[in-house]
Structure 1
Amino acid sequence: MKAFNVQLVGAMLALSAAVHAAPVLDAAPRTAVVSAFGPEETLLLNQAVDKREYRVNGVRFTTAQLEGRPVLLFMSGVSMSNAAMNAQLALDRFNVSRIVFSGIAGGVDDRLRIGDVAVPRRWGNYAEAIYARETAPGRYAPPPYADPAARAHYGMIHPRDVKLATADGGSETRFWFEVDPELLRLAKNLPADTLRGCDAAQRCLSAPPRIVAGGNGLSGPIFMDNAGYRDYLAKTYQAQVVDMETAAVAQVAHANRVPFIAFRSLSDLAGGSEHANEMDTFMQIAADNAANTVRGLLRALKP
């Protein structure tokens, strides 16, 4: 009877493992092309061939050929949690050789213009923070474990690094997650002649758009449209752009040791303009420019 029980328990454990295992849906090595904006994904899907669609937890993943390269196309979803979750889903269920993120962003660096495509060399989560206790009007006391010398605070908001596990069972603490140096090298040499200056309604940019590689990108689960906080991000982090997803995907790529890069085209100035936020006016131009730059990178990759 004991032997039977052992065999039964073993069989149940094996069945449980089989039920909960995440089978690889496609074994071919592919570049994951992640879109943050629906019309942008549509543009890439319309240019792709040999498409096959999969659904995982309601998320659509499409294997295809784009610019002659095998790709996996999917949406990040809005904000940090969705982006991290869907990126890890892709890595678990497909054979992803690199991750290329494409989307729109708010400009933080005053040298950048709407329509430009920023390709930062590293990304960080500016919303990872301690909201400190107010001890007197306008005075805030962070807890003892906070590092007051790390970065300047913004009122009660004291930024901090993120702690994550390492492959050897240890941990590390960091703020920045670097993009792949070889992908960044390719991005620096991409031509800007595929970038659009006007949309179908003939709404046009004030100057020809550019591809600007290097510098710092920031992400957080916040739609940024505040001039004061924008200035703080520019001074504290020397940031070029801010968005709501990229740093989360950069962290997932780092944890999985997968090469990563992101192209973010400016749809607005994150609160830095004199008038209302420009995103609704220029987001299609920005999305198209980011997507076209991704296509240029795919063409530059070795077959």
Structure 2
Amino acid sequence: MNSIKNIFRYSIKVITLALMLTGVVWGNTTVQTAMKSTEVSSQVVPLQPIMIQGPMPIEAEYFAALLDNVNIEYSGNAVFYRGTLDGYPIVVAKTGKGLENTAAATAIGIERYRPRLIINQGTSGGHDPDLNVGDIVLGERSVNASNFKTQKLAKGEGSKPFQWLPMDLMASEKSAGEGSSAKDAEKLRFYLGDKTLIALASSLSSSYKRGKVVTGTIGSGNFWNNEIDRIAWLHKNMGTSVEEMETSAAAQIAHAYHTPFLGIRVLSNNITNHGEYDPTTAKDCQAFVADVVKAYIKSLN
């Protein structure tokens, strides 16, 4: 019986030693298998696109034609052209004219594409007599130039637009326009353009041959002013360099989403110095903005 036990114990030791040696061999040998497999790489975070806005076809489609690999998407009144410029993702948004269309397109564009910055560009009418058709204004500031509160005047007392008070719609949530809290809203609200973008665009001013490039204030509103005295009043009291219908709305929404923003507007006309309307300025503005965007993309590398 003892002999049998000894033989069994010896056999266990031999088997254990064999398993240990086999483990050493396996541990240093690549296991070959006939099973099919695939390797999944780590995900790369997509680049945030640059969004370029223009209200009308002549203010957006030239830039869109500069893009490669374009896909077109629609939402409400807005059209979005997705593509690349110098290999970097770009979204060109044709917003439609006016404050409402622009605000909606900006919010949709931010929610959908998460842009790293927004440039709203296009044509404008001059308020500053020192600016000529073809000159470009970089929006150091933009303001809604159509928010006003009028005086109380009785029947027959007429209207006195030069005495209207500015109305800051973002100042008070407690008042519709009357009462003590409404006094906080009797002021202008300016949205500042991104300083880095302004500096970059200013550095390229010598390359723009159609006119000069200056910083100034872009006034926005759903109006088309042809009254010289009204234009002079806005220029004096709000510091407006030009007027158009979109920039301040885009700036307001961009600010709400903490997205860097700049308005760039070319003068297509200026009745303060008899500058006749020239629609070709829309293309000139887009070409300059393209140079700004290319320089920005190059700075990222």
Shared fold (TM-score, shorter chain, > 0.5): yes
Q: Is the 8 A contact 1:108 1:242 kept in 2?
A: yes
Matching residue of 2:131 = 112
Matching residue of 2:225 = 224
User: Is 1:46 matched up with 2:65?
Assistant: yes
TM-score by length of 1: 0.73
Matching residue of 1:299 = 294
- The 1:27–1:162 alpha-carbon spacing in structure 2 relative to 1, beyond 3 Å, is farther
Matching residue of 2:42 = none
Distance in 2 between the 1:155 and 1:139 partners? 12
Shift of 1:299: 1.6
User: Is 1:278 matched up with 2:276?
Assistant: yes
Shift of 1:251: 0.5
Identity, % of aligned pairs? 21
Distance in 2 between the 1:258 and 1:101 partners? 13
Shift of 1:45: 1.6
- The 1:134–1:44 alpha-carbon spacing in structure 2 relative to 1, beyond 3 Å, is same
- The 1:240–1:67 alpha-carbon spacing in structure 2 relative to 1, beyond 3 Å, is farther
TM-score by length of 2: 0.74
Matching residue of 1:158 = 165
Matching residue of 1:85 = 104
Q: Which moved more, 1:173-182 or 1:109-118?
A: 173-182
- Which structure's residues are more often helix, by fraction? 2
Matching residue of 2:246 = 245
Distance in 2 between the 1:165 and 1:48 partners? 43
**What is the DSSP-based 3-state SS (H/G/I as helix, E as strand, rest coil) of the residue aligned with 2:60?**
helix
Distance in 1 between the 2:125 and 2:77 partners? 29
Map 1:57-206 → 2, pairs under 5 A: 57=76, 59-135=78-154, 154-155=161-162, 157-163=164-170, 175-196=189-210
**C-alpha RMSD of the superposition:** 2.5
Q: Is the 8 A contact 1:194 1:292 kept in 2?
A: no
**What is the DSSP-based 3-state SS (H/G/I as helix, E as strand, rest coil) of the residue aligned with 2:48?**
strand
Q: Tell me, which stretches of 5 or more residues in structure 1 are unaligned?
A: 1-25, 141-152, 167-171, 197-208
Q: Is the 8 A contact 1:36 1:104 kept in 2?
A: no
- Which structure's residues are more often strand, by fraction? 1
Q: Is the 8 A contact 2:78 2:96 kept in 1?
A: no
Q: Is the 8 A contact 2:123 2:244 kept in 1?
A: yes
